[in-house]
Structure 1
């Protein structure tokens, strides 16, 4: 069985798609690479932001839920998203930008052994910029030029993801024993693991916290997707997951990629997703994210769906 090659995407809840679109495109300078709907509930937007093509490892995705309340923070949840920037100078640039644009942020500090700048979006979603120290990024990551961020300071892609759980060993053992993550650091009630040793783009920090489980709402993280190369590998993982006694959805065709979903024994929702076919399956690169794209099985409902959705611009 091949090792996982890092994060694929991460998905959150937002109360307002228009405000969400503004924050991630105008403030963070990401490209909206796909404007589509939740395939299981097509009355709500599913928005994808990332690099030029929305390559695996760069994608932040949001389900718009207008009825979403506030998040009540707690344990048994994915609790922070790390985003990579090129250098220490980049962190200084973003600190100044956040000050000017009134984005909640910290002083420059450290996180998981890396120079870091904590911040939150307008709905309280917790994130952290991490200094990637000029290291190479995956070949498929391509910068998006349609923003006002200097090229040398743009967000590169996903880095460390934080998961907070009531029982540390349950999640750590799953990542180690099933998915062959390597433990690179341990301290009291915290373990850092990497899918590919030395590569932060597949890094997960698991923290132990007693108390009530998080109550999700706007700005909460719904699931983390792990990157799988092919459908054949995905099917093999499905078998392994079920052999452990965990429930799996089996392989689901999401049109832009193939997926499966399962929860670990702390209730953390993971997705596993293939690289392809990708977002250009129904759009030219230059047209990505401009119009509402629907998978073929929803196309006949386009008029109905478009009548429900509020314009983002």
Structure 2
């Protein structure tokens, strides 16, 4: 029986790719590891940020939608992204950095039992820096040495992801019964679930909230991808999803990984994605993220695609 070894990536909507690139590389110090397009809508940029190679579990990805309106916050949505930093001292460093760059942020607090610093990007996307406190992270996460952030305080990768739902038990059942997540804590309106016992890099925080569903826009989260090691495991989970009564996209070749999508009974969009082949499939490590990379099936339309995209750094 297979288990889920953590998060793979998380995907959001941005209105402006250039502004997005500046924030996530210059302010947060992440590496842009892939500049490509939405494979289902090639006129749209798809940007990935992460560690040296965009390892599974470090990837933040954004679809550029220039016409995106304001997000109207609500329930039945993925609502916060946790990012792990090495220590409590890191949170103090980041608080000073956010003040320097005029980033909207709160005071250092506690989130899901760990010291944390909530903040927002320029489009209102809600993120939280989480003190990893020296705990284990996947051994293949590799730091990017050209980061603008001091080495001792760089973002390590994804941590707890918050999902807000109208009916908590429904999504909790999906996490526990379908994927085998362990229920760590549970109250009437909140629960914490881990795919790897004791580790934040595979943690999901569920919160119950009544009211209208979120209306997505700039700064909203489109989907959460959870990680599987290879295509064999992906096909196993495809069958499990089907046996639990959920309709899925079926396995799709995303060129840099294989994946499938499904919505749970609260309407939350989950992706299940493989570790490989990875972003070095069509790039050297040194050149990652610098040029527009296209999957093989779109390469013949490069001139047409590039003509419709606004250049970014």
Task: Identify the residue that residue 191 of structure 2 maps to in structure 1.
Answer: 191
Distance 1:287 1:148 in 2: 18
**1:20 corresponding residue in structure 2:** 20
> 2:243 corresponds to which residue?
243
Would the aligned equivalents of 2:136 and 2:199 in 1 still touch at CA under 8 Å?
Answer: no
Separation (CA, whole Å) in 1 of partners of 2:19 and 2:146? 19
Shift of residue 232 of structure 1? 1.1
Instruction: Write out per-residue CA displacement over residues 147-206 of structure 1, whole angstroms, 9 at most, x where no aligned residue.
Output: 221110000000000000000000001100010000111123000000011111000000
1:115-134 → structure 2 map (5 Å cutoff): 115-134=115-134
**Match in the other structure for 1:257:** 257
SS at match of 2:47: strand
- 1:299 equivalent in structure 2: 299
Looking at structure 1, the residues matched to 16 and 156 of structure 2 have their Cα atoms a distance apart, in angstroms, of 25
Post-superposition shift, 1:241?
0.8
List per-residue Cα deviations over 1:280-309 (Å, max 9, x = no partner). Answer: 000000000000000000000000111111
Q: Partner of 1:242: helix, strand, or coil?
A: helix
3-state secondary structure, aligned to 2:106: strand
TM-score of the pair, normalised by structure 2: 0.99
8 Å CA contact 2:55, 2:140 repeated in 1: yes
The Cα offsets for residues 117-152 of structure 1, whole Å up to 9 and x where unpaired, read as 000000000000000002232111000111221110
Q: Secondary structure of 1:312's partner?
A: coil
Greater than 4 Å deviation, 4+ residue runs: none
**CA–CA distance in structure 2, aligned partners of residues 62 and 304 of structure 1:** 21
Distance (Å, rounded) in 1 between the aligned partners of 2:231 and 2:278 = 13
Indicate the residue corresponding to 1:218 in structure 2: 218
Q: TM-score, normalised by structure 1?
A: 0.99
2 CA distance for matches of 1:211 and 1:190? 16
Matches of 2:84 and 2:241 in 1, distance apart? 30
Residue 63 of structure 2 is aligned to residue 47 of structure 1: no
Distance of 1:266 and 1:310 partners within structure 2: 36
Does residue 6 of structure 2 align to residue 6 of structure 1? yes
Q: What residue is the counterpart of 1:141 in the other structure?
A: 141
- Kept in 1: contact 2:27–2:148 (CA 8 A): no
- The residue number in structure 1 matching 2:110 is 110
The RMSD of aligned alpha carbons is 0.6
The match for 1:172 is 172
Count of matched residue pairs:
313
Deviations 1:262-286 (A, max 9, x none): 0000000000000000000000000
2:229 alignment counterpart? 229
Query: Is structure 2 residue 75 aligned with structure 1 residue 75?
Result: yes
Unpaired runs of 5+ in structure 2? Answer: none
Alpha-carbon distance between aligned partners in 2 of 1:218 and 1:26, rounded to the nearest angstrom: 20
